[in-house]
Chain A
Amino acid sequence: MADSISRRKFMARATLAIGGAIVAGWAVPAAAYILGPARSSDRQREWRPLGSPDKVEIGTPTLFKTRVERTTGWVTQEEEVSVYVFTEDGRDFQGLSNICTHLGCRVRWVDDQDVFFCPCHNAAFAKDGRVDSGPPPRPLDTFDIRLEEGQLQVNLEV
């Protein structure tokens, strides 16, 4: 009965193939579903108002704060973003993050020493954000700043 054996074999293989397709039908969407939030961020960049440029003394970084709404998953939260704005000539403005690149502490501008100082591990950054001393691995992050209709604006990820 060679014929009946091959039929049995055929049925066994067809069952395996269909079963495999069904399992794949679960597994592939499941993988996409679980890995979905790990996709690279699709956040937009937007210009946000900071305030009047008159507050910025020439040569002295000045701290500005603004709020952005950020959505992670299904939760939308308002976050505060702080930016040190700095100008040499009152026309070109540069923005620096106040978050230390070492472990994320807040740095502050120390006027008489001309550095951004991080109290956590005594790190110092120069006025343009370069590392002066201490453990930080890279300069302070920068923000693009522009002057629009008499207002300072910062380019943020929202």
Chain B
Amino acid sequence: MHEPIDHEVGAPASWLDERTGSRGIFEAIFLRKIPKVNWAFTLGSATLFVMVNQFVTGILLTVYYVPSVQDAYETVTYIDGSLPMGWLVRGLHHWGATAMVALVILHMLRVIFHGAYKYPREVTWVTGVLLLLLTFAFGFTGYLLPWDQKAYWATTVGTRILEVVPFVGDWLLRVARGGDELSAVTLSRFFGIHVWILPALMLLLVSIHLFLVIRIGISAPPKKED
């Protein structure tokens, strides 16, 4: 059943394959069999692409961004106004964040409507839900980092939502803010969470998610009789 696969491999590719099995890995990832699907099935890949964009542009932003109350807004202004292509790097990160939230939700809706979360893909689904929550956490923590009026008040209001939790609301609010009110501590914590903790978790979960997608294969769209 295997078609001969022609991907123009030269001597270096053979050399590498002999030592690492790279050809098998390549084929497992990119040449796997998929059912007949439609464009809605590209939403996961689109999300992955935007995530890569967020990593690339986010790393670039940390080259100049300084998470302190004195410097945060100044450095963002510097990136936007004084650096060549700074507006583009920040713009890609800013709009990429919005696109990521939208894509991740559309991807989830596709999975729901096709019933693709069912056996044997429950673990893929659960990691996907965690990735959705991580995306929201990214959005919430990232929104504060420019430290302008909008960021400050949005986070003031956003963290206050925790206060309505019965019994532990006050404590949760203090945990989120790192104190009674928004401060240098909040900014520093949000930065650390946004650029270290969340990306680490996301890489881990995306790896599991993709491994399962490749291992189990994607589900075909349900037919009428299903």
Residue-wise, chain B 66-94 has the 8 Å CB interface mask toward A (1 for contact) of 00000100110110001111101100000
| Inter-subunit contact B85/A74 (CB<8 Å) | no
Question: Interface code B1-22, partner A: CB below 8 Å = 1, 0 otherwise?
Answer: 0000011100000000000000
Contact B84 A26 (CB under 8 A): no
Instruction: Tell me if B203 counts as interface (CB < 8 A to partner A).
Output: no
- Taking a contact as CB atoms under 8 Å apart, the answer to whether B78 and A33 are in contact is no
| Given known A-B contacts A26-B56, A29-B89, A30-B60, A36 and B7 have beta carbons under 8 A apart | no
Q: Report yes or no: B75 in contact with A74, Cβ–Cβ below 8 A.
A: yes
By beta carbon, the residue of chain B nearest A75 is B74
Q: Residues of A contacting B6 with CB < 8 Å?
A: 5, 8-9
Closest-CB distance, A28 to chain B (whole angstroms): 8
For chain A, give the interface size range: 10 to 19
Give complex CA distance A34, B8 in Å.
36
Flag if B85 contacts A29 (CB, 8 Å): yes
In the assembled complex, the CB of B109 is this many whole angstroms from the nearest CB of chain A, namely 26
Is A37 positioned at the interface, with any CB of B under 8 Å from its CB? yes
B157 close to A (CB within 8 Å): no
B84 and A74 contact, CB distance less than 8 A: no
Q: Would B84 and A33 count as touching, CB distance under 8 A?
A: yes
Q: Judge if A150 is at the interface, Cβ distance under 8 Å.
A: no
| Chain B, Cβ-Cβ closest to A31 | B85
Are A33 and B71 within 8 A (Cβ)?
no
B63 at the interface (CB under 8 A from A): yes
Chain B proximity of A121: nearest CB distance (Å): 38
Note all chain A residues with C-beta closer than 8 A to B85: 29-30, 32-33, 36
Q: Mark A29-72, 1 if CB is under 8 A from B, else 0.
A: 11011101101000000000000000000000000000000000
**Residues in B neighbouring A137, C-beta threshold 8 A:** none
Residues of B within 8 A of A73 (CB): 64, 78, 82
> What residues of chain B lie closer than 8 Å to A30, measured between beta carbons?
56, 60, 85, 89
Kindly state the separation between the CA atoms of A34 and B88 in the bound complex, as whole angstroms: 13
Chain A, residue nearest B4 (CB): A5
Q: Which residues of the partner chain B approach A5 to less than 8 Å between Cβ atoms? A: 6
Chain B residue nearest to A9 (CB atoms) is: B6
Q: Which residue of B lies closest to A12 (CB)?
A: B7
Given A9-B6, A74-B78; A36-B83 close (CB under 8 Å): yes
- 16 additional A-B pairs beyond A33-B84, A37-B83, beta carbons within 8 Å, are A12-B8, A26-B53, A26-B56, A26-B57, A29-B88, A30-B85, A32-B84, A32-B85, A33-B85, A34-B60, A36-B86, A73-B64, A73-B78, A74-B77, A74-B78, A75-B74
Residues of A at the B interface (CB closer than 8 Å) are 5, 8-9, 12, 26, 29-30, 32-34, 36-37, 39, 73-75
12 contacts between A and B (CB under 8 A): A26-B57, A30-B60, A30-B85, A33-B84, A33-B85, A33-B88, A34-B60, A36-B84, A36-B86, A37-B83, A74-B75, A74-B82
**Residues of B in contact with A (beta carbons under 8 Å apart):** 6-8, 53, 56-57, 60, 63-64, 71, 74-75, 77-78, 82-86, 88-89
